[in-house]
Structure 1
Amino acid sequence: MIWQVLLLMSVIFMVFIGPASAETMEENAAAIADLQTALTFMWLLIAGAIVFLMHAGFSLVEIGLTRTKNTANILMKNFMTISLGIIVYWAVGWGIMYGADYAGLIGIDQFFLMGADNAVWNGWWFQMVFAATGATIVSGAMAERTDFKAYLIYTILMVALIYPVYGHWVWSGSGILTTGFIVDAIGVAHHDFAGSGVVHSIGGYSALAGVLLVGARIGKFKNGKPMAIPGHSLPLAFLGTLILAFGWVGFNGGSTLDANDPFANLVIANTFIAAGAGAIIVMIITWMKTGKPDPSLTANGLLAGLVAITAPCGSVSNSGAFIIGLIGGIIVYVGVMFNENVLKVDDPVGAIAVHGYSGSWGLIAVGLFALGTGEGSILEGAAYTAETAGLFYGGGVGLLMIQLVAVVLSIVWAFGISFIIFKILDVVIGLRVSEEHEIAGLDVVEHGISAYPEFLLAKE
C-alpha cells in the first residue's frame, strides 16, 4: 500500500543518508513514529470519505427500487440524514458513544467535541459517517409512505441516542459488552470489527419496528398475498449497490484504525470474497426457484455478504469468509421471503433482511470461525481481531456465547427503543401520510416538485 511504500522510502533515506550516531538513531525512530501517525490520520480521512460516498449508494439503491413519484422525497431523506447526522453526532452522539464512561452504559462528556485534539477530530470524522448509516437503512425500509417530518425527528434520535448508546457498549472500550460482569461471567469480550451489529443490526431491527408500525404500501398485499411493486430503475439500483460495495473498502479497511496494520489486506480480501459468495448463491437460488435469476435479489445477496463479513473480516480465513458470505446470501433470500409471506411486512429494498438478519449472522460467525491469535495462527500478533478462537477452531463456546448475547441485546435495544419512538411519533405527528398523498406521490405532496418533470408532463 502507498503508506507502506512511503514508510520504506523514509527508512531507506534515513539509513543511508543520515549518520549512524545514537542520537540520530533516536531522531530517526521519532521521525518514523511521526510518519506512522500521520499516515494513520490520512488513512482514516480517506476511509471516512469513501464511507461518506456510501450515502450516494444508499440513495441510488432506494430510488432505483421504488417508484418515480417518490424519488425527490427519497433523495431529500438521504441528503438530510447525513446533514443532520453531522451536526447531531458532533453535538451529542460522539459524547454518548466515546465520552467518559458511566456504568458501562453511556458516555457523559465530550459533547460538541469539547476539549478535542487532532486525534479526536480524526476519530470523530470516521465515526460520524458510520453513525448516519443506521438511519439511512431505516429510510429504505419505510420508503414511499412515511411522513417526512417524522423521519427527520427519528433520524435525530437515531444518531443522538439509539446508535451511540449501543456503540458505547461495543466500541468505547468500557461498555458492557467488552468489560464488566457479562464479560467476566463468560470469560471473553464481544468482537464486532466494523459493525455488523453496531451499524447494520441496529439499523435493520430499527427498520423492522418502523415498518411494522407504518404498515405496507397500498397494493402490496392482496388477500394476504404479497404483490410485486417494481422499482423504476434497475440501473440506478445496481449502480448504488456497486458504490456501496466500494464503500466497504473504507468501512472495513478503515476499521483497522491504523494505516500500518499488517492485516489490512486480509480484511479487504475477506470482505470481497464474502460479497461475491453472497451474490452468487442468491443468483443460483432464484434461478432454481423461478427459472430465472432475479437481479434485485442478487444485488441484495452481494450486500448481505458484505454485511455478514463486517464483524468477522479481521478474524477469519479466506475460506471462512467465503462460507460466511454464502450463508449471508441464503439468509437474505430466506429473510425477504419470511418478511413478506409470514410477517406480512413491506420493505421495498430488503433492508431488514440485508442489514438486520445478515448483521446478526455476522456476529454469530465470529464465534464460529474466528482463528484466534495464538502461536501458529495466520493472525498471530494481530491487534484488531477476536481475542480467542471460535468454536470451529478449538476456542470453545465462550466467544460464541458473548456474540449471541450481543445479538440479543442489539435486537432488544434497536427494536424496542425504535418501536417506542415511532409509536410516539405516530401519535403526535402521524407516521404515515394519507392514502390520497401516498397515491399522488411524496415528491409533489411533501416537496412540491417532481424528480422527472418531463416524464410527469408526458403522462399528463
Structure 2
Amino acid sequence: MDTAFLLNSLWVMVSTVLVILMIGGFILLETGSTRMKNAGHIAGKTILTFGISSIVFWAVGYGLIFGEGNSILGFSDFFYSGYEVEGLSLSGSVFFLFQLAFAGISITIAFGGFAERAKLSVYVVFAVFFSILVYPFIAHWIWGGGWLAEHGKQDFAGSTVVHLTGAMGALAATLLLKPRLGKYNKDGSANKIDGHNLVFTALSVLFLWVGWFGFNAGSTLSVDGAFFGFVALNTNLAAAAGTIAALAVSWIVMGKADIPMMLNGTLAGLVGITASSGFVDTWAAVVIGLVSGILVFYSIRFFESKQIDDPIFALSVHGAAGVWGTLSTGFFATPELATVGKPGLFYGGGFDQLGVQAMGVLASGAFAFVVSYLILLGMKMVMNGLRVTEDEENIGLDISEHGIYGYPEFVNIEATIRESKRETKVENPSLVTQRPSIN
C-alpha cells in the first residue's frame, strides 16, 4: 500500500469529520434562529435524521449514486460492505463516509423549511424518501457519471448536488406547511419572528465556516500537489466577501448593520463558492462571495414579500446562492483549472459552459422540487397532515412532541414568577422583574 494512498485516505477522513461536525453547526443555526420553545426538538430531530439518512445511504443511496447503471441512476453496490473501489486513490470506506456526510448535509438543509411547525414523524418519513428518491438521482447525474456529467457539468463540491437540492426540498415543505402562526397579518405584511439566541447563530456560522474546509478542500480527494490548500483559500475568500457584502447592503438599505443578515451572507458566500472552488482564480472567488452576499439579502426580502415563510432562510442561503454558485463557473472557470467541462465565458470559452450550468440548475432544481412536493403531498394525505395542531405549535414542539423543554430551568422560573404574582396580588406588575416569553 503506497504512501499516496494512505495520505489521501487520511486527508479525506479528516475532511469527513469536518463535514459531519457541520451537522452541529446546523443544530446551532436552526435553534439559534428559531424560538426557545422549539430548541430541543430541532436539536434532537437533526441528530435523528442524520442517523436515518446514514442507514439509507448505506443500504441504497451509495449504490444509486455510484453503482453501475445508466445515465439516470445506478443499480448496484447496495449495502456497502467496505470493499475497495477500483481506480480510486484512497480507501473505499473513507470515500463512502465522505459521500454519506454530503447526503446528510443535504437533508439537513431541506429540513430548514419544516422548522417550528412539522410533526416529528414527517421528518422521519421524509428523510427516508428524500434519501432514496431525490438526492441520489441528482448526485448520480453530476458526480456518478450520469447525463449531466456527460455534458461536462461543473460542481466541485455541491452547490447544486447538496445545496440546491436541499433548498428545493425546503421550498416544497414550506409551501405545503404554510407560514407559522403569527408570521403574516391579514393585509399580507410580515411580522418579524426573531430567533432566541443570536450568539448560537453566530457560533454556528463559525463552525460551518471551518467545516466548509472539509466540504470543499476535501473534495479534492487527494493530497497531490496540495491543491486542497488553494481550494481552501478560495473558500475562505468567498466567505469573507459574502460577510462584508451582506452587512454593507443591509446597512445601506435598512439603515442598520443587521447581524443575522451578515451571518447569512457568510453562509451564502460559502454556498456560492462550493461549485467553483476548484475551478476559479482567487479574484473570482472574491467576486462570487460578494455577489452571494448581496443576492441573499434581496432573496430573503423577496420570499418574505411572497409570504413564503422560510425560518432558516434555506431558500436564499442554499437555493439562490446555490444557483449563482453553479452558474459562476460558466463565467469564471479558467482553462488551467477546468478539469471538468470547459472554461468560462470570461476566459474565452463562450457560452457553452454557462449553458451546461444553467441546464444543470434547471433540471436538478425542478426534479428536486417536484419529487419532494409529490412525496410530501402523498405524506400529507396518508399521515393526516404534515403540521402539528395550533395548540401544539403555540406551546412549542419541545413539549408537544417530546414532553420536555430544551430550557427546563427557564420554564420553572416563569412558573415561579407567575405563581408569585398570584399569591402576592401585585398591584403594579411592572415592578416585578419581567422575563422574556418562552415564545
Contact 1:253–1:268, Cα closer than 8 Å, also in 2: yes
Counterpart check, 1:395 vs 2:349: yes
Counterpart check, 1:146 vs 2:118: yes
Contact 1:204–1:356, Cα closer than 8 Å, also in 2: yes
Contact 2:133–2:371, Cα closer than 8 Å, also in 1: no
Counterpart check, 1:205 vs 2:168: yes
Counterpart check, 1:335 vs 2:307: no
Letter in 2 for 1:307: V
Letter in 2 for 1:358: A
Contact 1:366–1:386, Cα closer than 8 Å, also in 2: no
Q: 1:96 aligns with which of 60, 64, 83?
A: 64
Letter in 1 for 2:239: A
CA distance in 2, matches of 1:317, 1:197: 20
In structure 2, relative to structure 1, the CA distance for the partners of 1:261 and 1:210 (3 Å cut) is farther
Q: 1:452 aligns with which of 394, 407, 422?
A: 407
Q: Write the mapping of 1:1-150 to structure 2, written as runs, cut at 5 A.
A: 34-102=2-70, 104-114=71-81, 116-117=83-84, 119-150=91-122
Contact 1:48–1:125, Cα closer than 8 Å, also in 2: yes
CA distance in 2, matches of 1:255, 1:319: 21
Deviations along 1:196-239, whole A, 9 cap, x unmatched? 00000000111111101001000100121111011110000111
Contact 1:314–1:385, Cα closer than 8 Å, also in 2: no
Deviations along 1:17-43, whole A, 9 cap, x unmatched? xxxxxxxxxxxxxx7xx0011000111
Query: Partner of 1:260 in structure 2?
Result: 224
Aligned to 1:218, the other structure's residue is in SS state: coil
The Cα of 1:320 is off from its aligned counterpart by: 0.4
CA distance in 2, matches of 1:390, 1:402: 11
The Cα of 1:88 is off from its aligned counterpart by: 0.8
The Cα of 1:372 is off from its aligned counterpart by: 1.5
Aligned to 1:229, the other structure's residue is in SS state: coil
Alignment identity in percent? 41
CA distance in 2, matches of 1:385, 1:60: 36
Letter in 1 for 2:309: D
Aligned to 1:101, the other structure's residue is in SS state: coil
CA distance in 1, matches of 2:276, 2:339: 8
In structure 2, relative to structure 1, the CA distance for the partners of 1:330 and 1:132 (3 Å cut) is same
Q: 2:394 aligns with which of 428, 436, 439?
A: 439
Contact 1:315–1:366, Cα closer than 8 Å, also in 2: yes
Contact 2:49–2:123, Cα closer than 8 Å, also in 1: no
The Cα of 1:114 is off from its aligned counterpart by: 4.8
Query: Partner of 1:321 in structure 2?
Result: 285
Query: Partner of 2:254 in structure 1?
Result: 290
Letter in 1 for 2:113: A
Deviations along 1:289-320, whole A, 9 cap, x unmatched? 22211111110000000000000111111110
Counterpart check, 1:225 vs 2:189: yes
Query: Partner of 2:326 in structure 1?
Result: 363
Query: Partner of 1:14 in structure 2?
Result: none
CA distance in 1, matches of 2:39, 2:321: 27
Q: Write the mapping of 1:144-223 to structure 2, written as runs, cut at 5 A.
A: 144-173=116-145, 175-179=146-150, 183=151, 189-222=152-185, 223=187
CA distance in 1, matches of 2:397, 2:343: 50
Query: For the aligned residues, what is the CA RMSD?
Result: 1.2
Query: Partner of 2:210 in structure 1?
Result: 246
CA distance in 2, matches of 1:152, 1:294: 35
Deviations along 1:398-436, whole A, 9 cap, x unmatched? 111100000101111111000001111111111111111
CA distance in 2, matches of 1:197, 1:126: 17
Aligned to 2:335, the other structure's residue is in SS state: coil
The Cα of 1:116 is off from its aligned counterpart by: 2.2
In structure 2, relative to structure 1, the CA distance for the partners of 1:143 and 1:326 (3 Å cut) is same
Contact 1:194–1:311, Cα closer than 8 Å, also in 2: yes
CA distance in 2, matches of 1:455, 1:391: 56
The Cα of 1:392 is off from its aligned counterpart by: 0.9
CA distance in 2, matches of 1:256, 1:351: 26
140-149 vs 259-268, greater mean Cα deviation: 259-268
Query: Partner of 2:434 in structure 1?
Result: none
Contact 1:307–1:354, Cα closer than 8 Å, also in 2: yes
Aligned to 1:168, the other structure's residue is in SS state: helix
Contact 1:77–1:139, Cα closer than 8 Å, also in 2: no
Aligned to 1:144, the other structure's residue is in SS state: coil
The count of corresponding residues between Structure 1 and Structure 2 is: 408
Letter in 1 for 2:255: G
In structure 2, relative to structure 1, the CA distance for the partners of 1:115 and 1:314 (3 Å cut) is closer
Deviations along 1:261-287, whole A, 9 cap, x unmatched? 442221111111111111101101111
CA distance in 2, matches of 1:45, 1:444: 38
CA distance in 2, matches of 1:56, 1:86: 16
Contact 1:196–1:310, Cα closer than 8 Å, also in 2: yes
CA distance in 2, matches of 1:199, 1:65: 21
Letter in 1 for 2:58: W
Contact 1:85–1:156, Cα closer than 8 Å, also in 2: yes
Question: Which structure 2 segments of 5+ residues have no match?
Answer: 86-90, 416-439
Contact 1:370–1:386, Cα closer than 8 Å, also in 2: no
The Cα of 1:91 is off from its aligned counterpart by: 0.4
Letter in 1 for 2:211: G
Q: Write the mapping of 1:344-363 to structure 2, written as runs, cut at 5 A.
A: 344-363=307-326
The Cα of 1:387 is off from its aligned counterpart by: 3.6
Contact 1:48–1:129, Cα closer than 8 Å, also in 2: yes
Contact 1:336–1:353, Cα closer than 8 Å, also in 2: yes
The Cα of 1:115 is off from its aligned counterpart by: 7.2
Contact 1:96–1:161, Cα closer than 8 Å, also in 2: no
CA distance in 2, matches of 1:161, 1:423: 14
CA distance in 2, matches of 1:235, 1:115: 41
CA distance in 1, matches of 2:225, 2:190: 48
Structure 1 consecutive aligned stretches of length 4 or more whose deviation exceeds 4 Å: none
Letter in 2 for 1:125: L
Aligned to 2:148, the other structure's residue is in SS state: coil
Please give the TM-score of this superposition, normalised by the length of structure 1.
0.87
